[in-house]
A = this chain, B = another copy of it.
Amino acid sequence: MELVTFYDVDDLQGATPIAQVQGSVGSTILALARQGGVQIEATCAGKGRCGQCKVRVRGQLAPVTPTEEKVLTKGDLENNIRLACQAKINGEVSVWVIKTPKTHQILSSGLERDVSVLPLVSKSFIHVLEPTLDDDRSDDERLQEAIGSKGQIPLDVLMTLPGLLRRANHQVTVIQHPDGILGIEPGDTTGDLYGVAFDIGTTTVVGSLVDLNTGEELAVHSRLNGQVVYGADVISRINYTVEEEQGLRTLQEAIVTTLNEIIADLVNTAGISRAQIYQVVAVGNTCMQHLLVGVPPRYLAESPYSACFRRTLSVRAQELGLSVYPGAIVLTLPNIAGYVGADTVGVMLATSIYSKNKPTLIVDIGTNGEIALACNGRMLACSTAAGPAFEGAQITKGMRAAPGAIEAVRLTKDEVEIKVIGNEQPIGICGSGLLDAVAELLRLGLVDQTGRLLEQEEVPQSFDNIRNRLVTSNEGNGFVLAWDQDNRPQVVLTQRDIRQLQLAKGAIFSGIAVLLKEMELRSEDLEEVLLAGAFGNYLDKKSAVTVGLLPMVAEHKITSVGNAARSGAKLALVSQEMLKMAQELASTTGHIELSGRWDFQETFMEAMMFPDYEQVQASFQSHRKIFP
């Protein structure tokens, strides 16, 4: 073994080594750099094409290769510049590193982050010494020496090692992760290193295919979670695992099938092979994480709502049945509590909430609302059972955000303007429309602060053109948002719908209120309010504040950050540092179990009331325009 010492390019005297590595003769400088944790830019992944991995060398090296002669200039050669990916050592060598890797932007709607691309899984192309009569060591030991890693070579790799080494003339690519070796492949395959980040929603699953050499996202696909046929929400899925003997297994197989379908879409789009995917990172709520790895989620549904595990699990793809590289590592990001899952950790990671010095609130609205509050490094999170009102359920004419749904509403004294998805005839109302409708009725005073919808006779004459929309039917009082062709009420917002909204927004808002109280903050102290998830993209911010779903803050403080959970998963996929940060976030974020608090009922009762519109008006000048 020969000593190779790395220095920074500016350290001309070689005074302060960055790293020292023992390497066998014939190893490339790039492979040894990776061994020593020294980052050298190599965009072409060691093919000798990009010329990015130029290093200055001194010592015993094999002669300049034809590949290098193409890429290096005469000046380079005179200055002892070599390509790290080509230059092989012949003895003791000193290396001056010129370029370290670029960072790569991880994009997501509303979010841009730069991280250094250094995934958990890496590849090294190495030359293993061949056995001789004088060298009685085993294949295992000679490979171990070549990779210089402490992780032991696992049995499944040993099973193919003897034949593979000899077929490949002892030149192989080792797939490594910090705890060991995932596998080996003949020849140099370092250029093919891919990973997938999944956000496993209760309803929808989204996957991103990422090139782990560059951090670039190559494809995104989504599908319905295959578990939906066994129950629409988390509780019904848990019940299914309890009531059906093979229920847990069925649900696990369903989600694995969905993931495999998405993987098929992804590799198809990108034109790569499934077997080139070596790492998968999954986020999802705590129940989805349990179901993915086949751990019973049962006690999530029973007080005290205890998870079986919270930490990151590392499972091999073949154990789960994922159709990628069999030894690929599948990581579940950590969960914070039974109802604050890895998806929330993903959002916190993507929004770098941990670095916020001023009070920052994250609200992720779904059937459960997950709320996180951070200030000066302290982080709190809780979950509230908002119910599916924002998804249209339990609303008289409620529906999902699909064609025919009223998605926005504006009222004047004289008129009702509605925007319908797909510009079709309105047939129902979705979450954002519901928020708008109630907010507008509040603004005009047709709904009071307790949530009572006025009777027609209580409304001033000046509202003549819309007071006739206040109707009474079997379903109680209501406000007609749209008439049908025969002028009969088509979409009516009922008093009961308003109560449902009050319950839903009250649940979210009381969660926010409890976290603020716990940190001794007021709404007005908030510097930022970040809305995660699809609903956060669609809702009208002013309406959300008007109904009191969000605390009263100035409009510019509210930002939608889109599918930040998946962005977080991607960050953890490409960056070990981010993965570590996810662990830290999960373990340092305080969890408030609302049902365990003596003051929750009171907070909830207060939160169901609507705020004073005068105050809203002070923060918000107007709604966003719904028609251009």
Residues of A within 8 A of B (CB): 131-141, 152-153, 155, 158-159, 161-163, 166, 293-296, 298-299, 303-311, 313, 315, 319, 335, 337-338, 591, 593, 595-596
Contacts and interface: CB of A to CB of B under 8 A. Distances in A.
Nearest to A315: B155
Contacts of A319: 155
Contacts of A136: 304-306, 337-338, 591, 593
B596 A306 contact: no
Nearest to A248: B159
A132 B299 CA distance: 12
Contacts of A304: 131-133, 135-136
Nearest to A133: B596
Which 4 residue pairs are nearest across A and B when measured between Cβ atoms? A133-B596, A131-B306, A140-B309, A138-B307
Given A159-B295, A296-B162, A133 B310 contact: no
Contacts of A155: 293-295, 313, 315, 319
Given A155-B293, A155-B295, A295-B162, A308 B140 contact: yes
A305 B136 CA distance: 8
25 contacts: A131-B304, A131-B306, A133-B593, A133-B595, A135-B304, A136-B338, A137-B310, A138-B306, A138-B307, A138-B309, A139-B299, A139-B306, A139-B307, A139-B308, A140-B308, A140-B310, A153-B309, A155-B293, A155-B294, A155-B315, A158-B293, A158-B313, A162-B296, A162-B308, A163-B296
A310 B138 contact: yes
A307 B142 CA distance: 11
A309 B309 CA distance: 36
Which of A136, A162, A593 has the largest count of B CB atoms less than 10 A from its CB? Answer: A136
B135 A299 contact: no
A136 B593 CA distance: 8
Contacts of A311: 138, 140-141, 152
Contacts of A308: 138-140, 158, 161-162
A159 B136 CA distance: 43
A139 B593 contact: no
Given A139-B307, A140-B309, A307-B139, A596 B159 contact: no
Most buried by B among A153, A158, A309: A309
Contacts of A134: 593, 596
A592 B158 CA distance: 25
A298 B162 contact: yes
Nearest to A134: B596
A138 B309 CA distance: 5
A309 B133 contact: no
B162 A299 contact: yes
A137 B591 CA distance: 10
